[in-house]
Amino acid sequence: MGSRAYFARRLGGALVTLLLVLTFNFFMFRVIGDPVRLLIKSNLRLTPQEQQALREEFGLAAPLPVQFVGYLGDTFRGELGQSFTSGKPVTEVIGGRLWPTVLLVGTGTILATVLGVLAGIRGAWTRGSAFDRTTLLGSLVLYSVPEGWLGMILLITFAGSLGWFPVGGYATTGSEATGFAHVADVAEHLFLPALTLTAAYVGQYVIIMRSSLMETMGEEFLKVARAKGLTDREVRVRHAVPNALLPTLSVITLNIGFVLAGSVIVESVFSWPGIGRLVFESIEELDFPVLQGVFLLLSAAVIVLNLVADLLYGVIDPRVRVAA
């Protein structure tokens, strides 16, 4: 299969998946119940006429098929409705929380990837050493620990008992710091939640990279490379590691979507004002349009990253395009 055909096929699959997600996203929240009735269940003073006015205001009075067509049209125009709670456009509500999550997830992902890949490479190349046994055991422990529990332990230890870091938030309340002082303040608040995400995912990268490299080390082409007189480091850097990176690359790319989902718990623990915290608040307030928008954003992120992983696979290893 040529490069263009491979790209077109992967792009078409991603678009179909996105359409299915849009359909599921619309009907999922309708199956739960009438959003307006759930929203006003605590306010018995609203008359049926006032309830109907709310349905018309939020576009819930029309038949379901008409709502669905309107939902698709609005989504493709970038309009995700209005928040039940604030009355603001959902895109504006999500946009106001996007940067803190990008900062948290980006920091945690980069640190986990770099540390995990490097530790996995060294562990596989020195199999059976003290470093290998220690990192493998630590990876298995970290991989099995829930993010919320780990976050609470770090919060109690380093923020509560030792007082080294703030207990939560994005920056010091009421602070008017600017420039480097503001960056340092945000970094201090970021440390514990970023450490939680890093610790939660670094073990998986260590295990996968170690396993992939160990499998690659048994291939015949490495014996040929050594027979040509290449040093051990040249064999590792130029031949073994690049071929072992494919499975790890796929996991890293797809895991960004799972890290976004995991940030819901971490942001709640550390009161980090990002998308995850917004999900928690929207569930408490039954703000269905915001929940729909966040679900669509997270799903689209996973789909796009999956597409990126497939395309990178095809670029790095042409055999993937042929097999597809």
pTM attached to this predicted model: 0.76
If pLDDT is split at 50, 70 and 90, which confidence band does 115 have? very high
pLDDT at 50: 66
CA 30, CA 37: separation in Å to the nearest integer? 12
Task: Quick: pLDDT tens for 141-162.
Answer: 888 888 888 888 998 999 888 8
pLDDT at 262: 63
Give one word for 136, left, alpha or beta, with left for phi > 0 and alpha for psi -120 to 50. alpha
Task: Quick: pLDDT tens for 29-41.
Answer: 666 666 666 666 5
Token pair belonging to 324: 């597809």
CA 250, CA 253: separation in Å to the nearest integer? 5
CB atoms within 10 A of CB 213: 25
- Residue 43, pLDDT above cutoff 60: no
Domains of the chain: 96-306 (1.10.3720.10)
Least-confidence region, from 166-170, 191-195, 217-221, 320-324: 320-324
Token pair belonging to 135: 């990192």
